[in-house]
Amino acid sequence: MSSSCSSSVAGRPAAGGTRRTGLAAGLLLAAAAAAGCFSWGIEAQLTGVLDDCLCDIESIDEFNNFKIFPKIQKLQERDYFRYYKVNLKRPCPFWADDGHCSIRDCHVEPCPESKVPVGIKAGSANKYSKIVNHTKELEDCEQANKLGAINNTLSNQSKEAFIDWARYDYSQDHFCELDDERSPDAQYVDLLLNPERYTGYKGPSAWRVWNSIYEENCFKPRSVYRPLNPLAPSKGGDDGESFYTWLEGLCLEKRVFYKLISGLHASINLHLCANYLLEETWGKPRWGPNVKEFTHRFDPMETKSEGPRRLKNLYFLYLVELRALSKVASYFERSVVDLYTGNSQEDTETKSLLLEIFRDAKSFPMHFDEKSMFAGDKKGAKSLKEEFRLHFKNISRIMDCVGCDKCRLWGKLQTQGLGTALKILFSEKEIKNLPENSPSKGFQLTRQEIVALLNAFGRLSTSIRELQNFKILLQQRS
């Protein structure tokens, strides 16, 4: 094992999840299936302490469903967080476009400019007009527009500090390929009017995207095949055990990377199962939870126990993003930061609700410890961290290869949200040194990153809430 890789904690379950012996697990699951108790199999395996952290699933369920979920849902309805600017026309950088999906539900309806709050459209340009005297400052001001979170009561000294920051190239901190918001192809989208749900987009095009993500970006040799991979050669009774043997042998950082991607994939699949087109009568669609689809994707019997493992990775991803929220709280607690839309009363209420969510996040007692990562020798750790960042940045670029516009929208937003969370977790020193009344060169978040961060976490919170709903539906069917 490389000295730059952090070893796992002794005595903790293996990274792939605690596994029963094949015979015992088979008998138990067969009995559950015979009784029609599919939920029994999921609940029996989706419990206890998660690998690579010291938190149990039951604590996350209680914390999320009763404390965080109602608040994050309200926050996502606020104007500042419902409008997201995105470029859905960027070409795929890796292969020739398969063509965009023609299914009606794949379509994204952009928001008319007249509907976007004036403060969001204006950015910060109107706040710096007095100090723009020549072309260089104008260019800096345009670059500063991306932030969209600076209080309009800045002192002259603070304004100068902000312009100074605008010249700072912080692209090295990014874990994502950000859209250029000034591009004529970038449009505002009302996320509430374009919800993430099952669109019918599937088949070779969709599989190609996820296959590229897993096979080319998750530190995996091509000789190791993921469980349930239809391209894998038949290996008899292997059932993915060789994959988890390989995964357990990785250093912590690379295991974490795989779990984050697997958790994101599981979360997206859960959203599609929970918001499925059940029927359409006279042009009126009815959306709701599809238990059959959920069972197909996650039931232990149908997935050879792979479903519960993927759901555990969803919980792991939730912990990582929750940790990021707790770490970035001090950035937003400063008086200089304002979630500006132009409606002062709404802006005050929105920030108050956001700070309440941050307080809840900080109160959670079993956070993921990011300090255990990249803790080897400095040179090796720095190299591994950069490799980690570039791999994830590449995944954010793959999202431009998704053929369904609605899937692309939510894929870009959620990868950017996770990328922002990673940026926060690995910027602890810069966040601690933030000045109270002026922007900082060392660490900044654009409005695009802020909106993605909170909406991405909102999606994870919703996934865990929907998972409880599916457990109830399955119990009712048994």
Structure tokens at 279: 């029927």
Catalytic: 37?
Answer: no
Question: For residue 181, which phi and psi values (nearest 5 degrees)?
Answer: -70, -15
DSSP letter at 172 equals G
**Spatial CA neighbour of 310 closest among 289, 296, 327, 290:** 296
The reply to whether 106 belongs to the active site is no
Task: Find all residues with CB under 8 Å of 216, minimum gap 6, and list them.
Answer: 394
Q: Which residues contact 281 (CB under 8 A, 6 or more apart)?
A: none
Q: Report DSSP state, residue 106.
A: G
Identified catalytic residue from 53, 106, 401, 407: 407
367 marked as part of a ligand binding site: no
Cβ contact 300:446 at 8 Å: no
Q: Do 144 and 162 meet the contact criterion of CB atoms below 8 Å apart?
A: yes
Nearest Cα neighbor of 88 from 419, 391, 399, 392 is 399
To the question of whether residue 197 is assigned a binding role by annotation, the answer is: yes
Nearest Cα neighbor of 85 from 122, 105, 111 is 111
The CA distances from residue 173 to 80, 392, 441, 446, in Å, are: 24, 12, 12, 13
Contacts for 387 with CB less than 8 Å, ≥ 6 apart: none
Query: CA-based diameter of the chain, in Å?
Result: 77
Report whether 210 belongs to an annotated binding site. Answer: yes
Are 299 and 38 in contact, with CB atoms under 8 Å apart? yes
Of the candidates 5, 251, 273, 404, the residue annotated as catalytic is: 404
At 310, phi and psi to the nearest 5?
-65, -35
**Do the annotations mark residue 265 as ligand-binding?**
yes
Q: Known binding site: residues?
A: 197, 199, 210, 262, 265, 297
Q: Known binding site for FAD: residues?
A: 197, 199, 210, 262, 265, 297
Q: Which residues are catalytic?
A: 404, 407
